[in-house]
Amino acid sequence: MEIYDHPTFRMACRQFDLVADHLQIPESERDRLKFPKRSMTVALPIHCDNGSTKVFMGYRVQHHLTLGPTKGGLRYHPDVTLGEVAALAMWMSWKCALTGLPYGGAKGGIACDPTKMSRNELERLTRRYTQEMIPFIGPQVDVMAPDLGTNEQVMAWMMDTYSVHVGATVPSIVTGKPVGLGGSLGRREATGRGVGYLVNRASDSIGLDMSKATAVVQGFGNVGSIAALSLARYGVKVIAVSDVQGAIYNSGGLELWDLEKHVAKNKTVAGFSESEPLTNHQLLVLPCDILVPAALERQITEANAGKIQCRILAEAANGPTTPEADLILNQRPEIFVIPDVLCNAGGVIVSYFEWVQDLQSFFWGETEVVDKLFRILETAYTQVVSLSRKQKLPLRLAALSLGIKRVQEAKRIRGLFP
């Protein structure tokens, strides 16, 4: 499928092909499982603050609709392409199936740099994108959520634009909204909190004492910052973090609360006092117990996979490890990889809770949300680890096998129309 050609899409396809071989999925079923059901590309003209008009490209890919509506984030980043979005949509499908959510995967994005746009420009861009997507989305069709470069405010504008179009308030059109608009308690923290929970489970599995462990986190946005705080609550010392502008290190542990204040003021971790700067490349190969990539895809590659020095690789980002790097990591049994489709599933699980609450107009307390989140993660973790042990599979292959097999079975039972 040439329209999707992109290194990240090729990577997602290669992972799929490995699993399809492992599960012995017949050739006749492979393309149907692999390729997205629908994809949309839209041109988005907006008025800029300086009076000019600029056109941005927007995308949405819905991977499969076999198990329910599609679900997935919306990304604002200069490098967004249709192929990248298609890969992320595919991974969402396997993640939702692995955790037993009644969704197919989707992903969207706009090629833009939100850090260089005003709030008004971002609002106009978001509303125009939502307007263009209206024929293809809906609470029972496709539900968006925040991802890289988007946040609760972006979701609020989307919800408002859709609701104005329909003529009634429709909170269930997006998740990750502000709590005051029908968002769920615990959604903002869900992905990072889930990462903390799973690292704790992995530590149990390999006999690592969290209270004596160190962690390095790449990316200090929604997921990375909450993952760092969550690990700190388990007693872990976070010794280095980074963002797009730079990385910082303190062998004695970073003061995360002070760092949060520094980031709120300066919009970057760079320049934080009581830390020394280092490059993102150095950060990934620092000796530590827990390495958490929480930024972009394809960060652990064949160039650095042999050099990373951690005991747990917790993939908070989507697709941070390339298949070439996987081959190297598979030869390093001392590293326990929590694969992305499991590691960052907390976000979509609580998005699912938010959607359910919105549909029922009946809202839960945070304790209930967190309790239900951990139960689903526990079940998925146990299934992945036991399959991996039983069949001697790398954890990624085990996790993807569980997800892909469930989608395959659902497609088989429903049959092929006409």
Q: Which range, of 125-133, 314-322, 352-360, 409-417, touches ligand NAD by CB under 6 A?
A: 314-322
Q: Which range, of 30-38, 41-49, 236-244, 324-332, touches ligand NAD by CB under 6 A?
A: 236-244
The CB-side HSE value for 173 (13 A sphere, CA atoms) comes to 26
In which element (H, E) is residue 293 found? strand 290-293
Q: Which of 344, 357, 388, 408 touches ligand NAD by CB under 6 A?
A: 344
Find the binding residues for ligand NAD in span 270-299 (CB under 6 A): 280, 294-296
Interface with ligand NAD includes 146 (CB under 6 A)?
yes
CA distance 314 to 290: 7
CB of 335 to ligand NAD, least distance (A): 20
CB of 146 to ligand NAD, least distance (A): 5
State phi, psi for 218 to the nearest 5 degrees.
Answer: -95, 120
CB of 191 to ligand NAD, least distance (A): 4
Q: Which residue is nearest to ligand NAD (CB)?
A: 221
Question: For the window 88-117, what string marks contact with ligand NAD as x by the rule CB under 6 A?
Answer: ------------------------------
For ligand NAD, the closer CB: 269 or 393: 269
Q: Which range, of 57-65, 163-171, 199-207, 239-247, touches ligand NAD by CB under 6 A?
A: 239-247
With beta carbons less than 8 A apart as the criterion, state whether 277 and 242 touch: no
The two structure tokens encoding residue 312: 């747990």
Number of residues this chain uses to bind ligand NAD (CB under 6 A): 24
CB of 217 to ligand NAD, least distance (A): 10
Sign, Cα dihedral of 357, 362, 365, 368: negative
The answer to whether 411 is a known catalytic residue is no
CA distance 1 to 35: 8
The two structure tokens encoding residue 45: 């003209």
The two structure tokens encoding residue 265: 């003021």
Residues 6+ apart with CB under 8 A from 212: 235
Interface with ligand NAD includes 72 (CB under 6 A)?
no
CA trace torsion 402, 406, 412, 413 (10° rounding)? 140
Interface with ligand NAD includes 152 (CB under 6 A)?
no
Tokens 């976000």, located at residue? 347
Reported for 23-28, long-range contacts at CB under 8 A and 24+ positions apart, including other chains, are: 23/401, 23/404, 23/405, 23/408, 25/404, 25/408
CB of 401 to ligand NAD, least distance (A): 21
Q: Which of 99, 130, 175, 222 touches ligand NAD by CB under 6 A?
A: 222
Question: For the window 24-53, what string marks contact with ligand NAD as x by the rule CB under 6 A?
Answer: ------------------------------
The CB-side HSE value for 262 (13 A sphere, CA atoms) comes to 17
CB of 176 to ligand NAD, least distance (A): 7
CB of 412 to ligand NAD, least distance (A): 28
- Buried-exposed string 197-236: b where 16+ CB fall within 10 A, e elsewhere: bbbbbbbeeeebebeebbbbbbbbbbbbbbbbbbbbebeb
With beta carbons less than 8 A apart as the criterion, state whether 297 and 320 touch: yes
Among candidate residues 71, 107, 177, 237, the one labeled active-site is 107
135 prior amide bond cis, ω within 30: no
CB of 72 to ligand NAD, least distance (A): 9
Interface with ligand NAD includes 130 (CB under 6 A)?
no
With beta carbons less than 8 A apart as the criterion, state whether 104 and 38 touch: no
The CB-side HSE value for 125 (13 A sphere, CA atoms) comes to 27
Interface with ligand NAD includes 321 (CB under 6 A)?
no
For ligand NAD, the closer CB: 25 or 77: 77
Interface with ligand NAD includes 317 (CB under 6 A)?
yes
Interface with ligand NAD includes 339 (CB under 6 A)?
no
CA distance 251 to 11: 35
Which positions are annotated as active-site residues? 107
Binding residues for ligand NAD, rule: CB under 6 A, are 146-149, 191, 218-224, 242-244, 280, 294-296, 316-318, 344, 347
